[in-house]
Chains A and B, each alone.
Chain A
Amino acid sequence: MTIADQVTGSTIAGTAGAKPRAAAPAISLPAIGERELRLDLFRGLALWLIFIDHLPPSLLTWFTIRNYGFSDATEIFIFISGYTAAFVYGRAMLESGVVIATARILRRVWQIYVAHVFLFTIFLAEISYVATSFENPLYTEEMGIMDFLKQPDVTIVQALLLRFRPVNMDVLPLYIVLMLALPVILWSMKWRPDLTLALSVVLYAVTWEYDLYFSAYPNGFWAFNPLAWQLLFVFGAWCALGGARRMSRILASPVTMWIAIAYIVAAFYVTLTWYVPQLSHLMPKRLEQWMYPIDKTDLDVLRFTHFLALAALTVRFLPRDWPGLTSPWLRPLILCGQHSLEIFCLGVFLAFAGHFILAEVSGGAAMHALISLSGILIMWGVAWVISWYKRVAEKSGAKTKNAVGNADLAGGG
C-alpha cells in the first residue's frame, strides 16, 4: 500500500528531470535497497486474515476487515502482489531485457503452480477421508460432493489444468494467470504506463459488459475472474512504476481524505445491516436493489473503490518512516509478509487442518480460538525459520549473492 511514496530514488535510464523522449522508458523505479516495510506489513496482515476467513466463523472472524466494508484481504493481497511483482521484474526488464525478465517471471509462475498442486493433493486426502468416515443421514445430499472421487481420471486432470478448484483454492490460480500476463503488462508499461492502465480498465469494463469469464470444471466459472481482478493487479503495478508518485497530490488533499472516510463509513453501515437485521429496514429498497449483489467474482466496483478508499487513508496516516514499523510487535506480521507464497500455502493447509480438528475432536469455542491462535503462531514460526535459513544461506554463499531479484519481494502467492 505504498501509493504516494515520496521516494527519493533514482529514476532509471535517463528519465530524471528530462521530458520523456521516444527512446526513454516511460516508467521510473524507486531506489533499491531498503525494503518497503509497509508492503510486507499489509501483506502479512492479508495472509493472517485470509487464514482466519478460511476457518469456520468464530469470534476472531470479527476482526477481519470483510466485516467492516465491501472489500477484504484478497484485494490487499492482489494489489500488493501487483505492486511488488512490477517493482522487482520491472527493474529486471529495464536492466536485463524483456527475455530475461520473462524467463524469471515464468520460473516464479512454475513455483506457484507447484504450490497449487501440492495444496490440491492435501485437499484430495481430506475429502477422501471425509467421504469414507462421515455418513450422517442429515447430509446425504451434501455428500454428493464426493461424486467427483468416482472419476479421478477427469477430476485430477482438470485440477492440473486449473479448471477444477475446490473451495479456498481460488487465489493461486488467479495469481498464476496474472503472473503469466505480467511480461505483457510490464512491456506495455515500459512503453506507456497510463495507456496500459487505461487498457486494463477497458478490459474490466468489457468483462462486465459482455460477461466474460474463465470456465471451470465441472461447470461454472472461476470464482475470481482474472479478467476483472487484473484491474487491481495492473493498478498495483502502475503505482509501483511511478503512478503513485504522480498521484501523491491527489492523495494528500483533504477532499480525498473526506471522500474516503465518508465512503468507508457508508460501507460500514451497509455491512452492519447484514449482521444486525433489525437495521435493514432503514435501508432504502431502491438502493438495495441497485447495490446487491456485491459481486466478488468480478471485483465489483463497490469493492474496488472501497479498497481504494482504505488504501488512500492508509497511505495518509501511516507514513513510510513510521517508527512502529520496526517495533517487535509488528515483526511477526512483517515476517509473514516477506515470505508470502510459503505462508499463504501454509495458511490454506492450516485452515484445512483446523477444519479437520474441529470436526474430529471438538467444535467448541475454546478449541476454535486455540486453533486460530496456534495457526497464526505456526505461520509466524515458519516465516521466522525461512528468514533465518535465507540469512544463513546468504552468508555462506555471499560470493554469489545477487542483490536484485529476490523472489520473496516479488512474491505473493
Chain B
Amino acid sequence: MKAKVLLSLVLLCGYLAAPTARADDAAPAAPAVPPACELPSYLLTSESRLPKVAEAVKAGKPLEILVIGSRSTTIPASEDASYPARMQAILKDKLPASEVVHVSVEIQSKKTAEEAATTFVKLVEAKRPTLVIWQTGTVDAIRAIDPDDFRGAVTGGVTALQNAGADVVLMNLQYSPRTETMISVPPYLDNMRVVAQEHDIPLFDRFAIMRQWNDQGQFDLFSPSRGPELAKQVHDCLGRALAQFVIDAAHLGPAQQQN
C-alpha cells in the first residue's frame, strides 16, 4: 500500500509539473499562430522523417500532397475551410514563393482501412504524390473491426504507399467526447501508433491534439451547435498544425522557410 501511495504521489507531482514543463519547450516558431490553435511542441514533432518531401523542396520540385480521408476530412458545404485546404494555404505561406504546393483530397466515405487500402495502388499511380497523408480509423472503430485486422490493413496500406514511392504520414481519429460512451477508440489509436513505429513514419496525433484543445478550453468540443463555425475553426487549427508537422518532419530548416 505504501508503495502505491508513493507512486500516486510521484505521478501526481509529475502531472502537476507537466504543464509548466510543456510550456517551457513550446514551439517558439510561428508568431502568426492564433492563440486558439496553440499546442505543446511534442504534439507537433516526430522522430520519423519525410525524406522525399525534404528532397523535393530542396530541389525546388513541386510538392504534391494527397490526403486520403473520410467524412471527417471535410466540412459539409465548406470545402475551402477543411483542414487539407487550410494546410495547403499555410504551406504555401511558409515555403518559398517559388515552391509549388498542391494538395488533393480523396474521400473514402464509410470505408474501413482495409477497403480504402485496396484503391491505393491506382490512386498513387494517377496522382504521383510526394507525400500521402492517410487519415483512417473512425469507420473501423464504429464498426468495431478486430484491432489486429485493422493493424494488418493499415500495415498493408502503408506498405503499398511506400512501395509506390511516396512519403507517408498517418493521421488518427478525431477526439469526439459526445460519442465516447458509444465508440471504443483506444485500440485503434494504439494500433496506428504501433504501425507508425514499425514503419518509422510520422503519426499526426489528431486525437491528442483535439483533446488538448478541449481540455485547455480553446474549443468546446461538447458543443451541440449545428452551425459550421466551430468545425471551421477546428479545421483551420488542424491545417496549421499539420503544415507545421510536415515541415518539422521533413526538417525544412529556415533556409527552406520564409519565416
Contacts and interface: CB of A to CB of B under 8 A. Distances in A.
Contacts of B143: 218-220
Given A142-B72, A144-B139, A219-B145, A135 B184 contact: no
B122 interface: no
Contacts of A400: none
Contacts of B7: 68, 268
Contacts of B234: 138
A144 B177 CA distance: 15
Contact of B147 (A56, A297, A314): A297
Interface in A120-157: 123, 126-127, 130, 133-145, 147
Given A317-B1, A318-B1, A293 B190 contact: yes
Nearest to A277: B42
Given A141-B71, A281-B47, A289-B197, A130 B178 contact: yes
Contacts of B183: 142, 145, 167
A137 B228 contact: yes
Contacts, number: 149
B144 A134 contact: no
B224 interface: yes
Interface stretch (B12-20, B58-66, B157-165): B12-20
B12 A62 contact: yes
Interface in B180-199: 180-184, 187, 190-191, 193-194, 197-198
Contacts of A355: 180-181
B55 interface: no
A147 B138 CA distance: 14
A139 B176 contact: yes
B33 interface: no
Nearest to A223: B184
A54 B184 CA distance: 11
Nearest to A296: B187
B220 interface: yes
Contacts of A387: none
B180 A293 contact: no
A127 B230 contact: no
Contacts of B1: 314, 317-318
B177 A276 contact: no
A278 B42 contact: yes
Nearest to B227: A137
B45 to A, nearest CB: 9
B146 interface: yes
B144 A220 contact: yes
Contacts of B8: 62-63, 68
Interface in A207-233: 211, 213, 216, 218-221, 223
Interface of B is mostly: helix
A127 B15 CA distance: 33
A136 B235 CA distance: 13
B184 A167 contact: yes
B72 A292 contact: no
Contacts of A276: 14, 18
Interface string B116-149: 0000000000000000000000110011111110
A123 B234 CA distance: 29
Interface residues on B, range: 35 or more
Contacts of B72: 138-142
A352 interface: yes
B177 A363 contact: yes
B145 A145 contact: no
A288 interface: yes
A166 interface: yes
B26 to A, nearest CB: 13
A384 to B, nearest CB: 24
Contact of B180 (A56, A63, A143): A56
B178 A220 contact: no
Interface string B166-179: 00000000101111
Nearest to B150: A220
Given A137-B76, A292-B194, 14 more contacts: A59-B15, A136-B231, A138-B174, A145-B179, A145-B183, A167-B180, A167-B182, A167-B184, A216-B144, A219-B143, A275-B14, A281-B47, A289-B198, A297-B147
Interface of B: 1-4, 7-8, 11-12, 14-15, 18, 21, 42, 47, 70-72, 75-76, 110, 138-139, 142-148, 174, 176-184, 187, 190-191, 193-194, 197-198, 214, 220-228, 230-231, 234
Q: Report, nearest first, the 9 A-B pairs whose CB atoms are least far apart.
A: A141-B71, A138-B231, A220-B144, A141-B72, A142-B176, A142-B179, A137-B231, A167-B184, A135-B226
30 contacts: A62-B12, A68-B11, A123-B181, A127-B182, A130-B178, A130-B179, A137-B231, A138-B72, A138-B75, A139-B179, A140-B72, A142-B138, A142-B142, A142-B178, A143-B179, A144-B110, A147-B142, A268-B7, A275-B11, A275-B18, A276-B18, A278-B42, A285-B197, A289-B198, A297-B147, A318-B1, A352-B181, A358-B177, A358-B222, A359-B222
